[in-house]
Amino acid sequence: MKTRKLGQMEVSELGAGCMSLSSNYGPAAPGFMGINTLRAAHERGVTFFDTAEVYGAYTNELLVGEALAPIRNEVKIATKFGFDVEGSGGPLSTPANIRKVAEDSLRRLRTDRIDLFYQHRVDPNVPIEDVAGTVADLIREGKVLHFGLSEASAATIRRAHAVQAVTAVQTEYSFVERAPEANGVLDVCEELGIGFVPWGPVGMAFLTGWMTPETKFDPATDFRANFPRFSSENIRANLPILDIVRRKAAEKGATPVQVALAWLLAQKPFIVPIPATRSQDHLAENHGALNVELTAADLAEMQAAFAPLTVHGASMDADNMALVQR
């Protein structure tokens, strides 16, 4: 496993998204399965693990803390603040809440420092300068090492960075979801030396190839049940995008997942995808992306095939889309 730089923080070129072990993509995995998967990821070279207080809620941080405690000094842990978890559920990035979440996350994660502390969603009621300033205080205290933003606009990133250096920006990005290319977020990250961490790097599993128009998601456990992009009609309409990835995978003797991840890695040297899985077989498949070489000609061919296509359906429901700055 090679490494990449998120700002000044060095991490494995593929990280591990931990959310799906506890919530949102079906029922929670048994605790032993999550622990074994995360430790297996580390054995394969992963040093960057992504969680948040709201995943579960809280249960994912507890799982990550238990799994990584024996190897804590060998890994970087990212977690997130920014929701009123026990109240409205909406954004809450007051300085008092940021400090409370930091203390609670430190305890759940069984650690004395948070390597990367993201604002999970921008709070329209709190100036981003106040958010950055509060995290800067936590950095001075040694409780946090690096500051991150999630689903923030280019303008918000600039304002935050002027107060406290932003190490990484996390935003949905994949071969099917291209918003960061068009809204200036990738550009501002490159300009300011900020790392970029794509969540949903295989299109919330659309680019794996297992999903069909007949696929049904359980609304009680899987948030894709309410996301327009995952309706039967839109899955069918977006299959031509999946076909581009499938064709390239066939050429390369790889799987669609591997090509989707290799495509992201090839976009910019400061991109670190965080694919999620609870399966060690899928973990091995994900890491096979590191052996897939997409040439400039491959990338140009894939882009030429994608350019005339329309992506059908928003990737999230209206309530979630209202929280992102796209």
> Catalytic residues, which ones?
55
HSE-up of residue 102 (Cα within 13 Å, Cβ side): 29
- Tokens 């969540």 belong to 199
SS3 track for the chain: CCEEEECCEEEECCCEECHHHCCCECCCCCHHHHHHHHHHHHHCCCCEEECCCCCCCCHHHHHHHHHHHHHHHHCEEEEEECECCCCCCCECCCHHHHHHHHHHHHHHCCCCCECEEEECCCCCCCCHHHHHHHHHHHHHCCCECCEEEECCCHHHHHHHHHHCCEEEEEEECCCCCCHHHHCCHHHHHHHHCCEEEEECCCCCCHHHCCCCCCCCCCCCCEHHHHCHHHCHHHHHHCHHHHHHHHHHHHHHCCCHHHHHHHHHHHHCCCECCCCECCCHHHHHHHHHHHHCCCCHHHHHHHHHHHCCCCCCCCCCCHHHHCCCCC
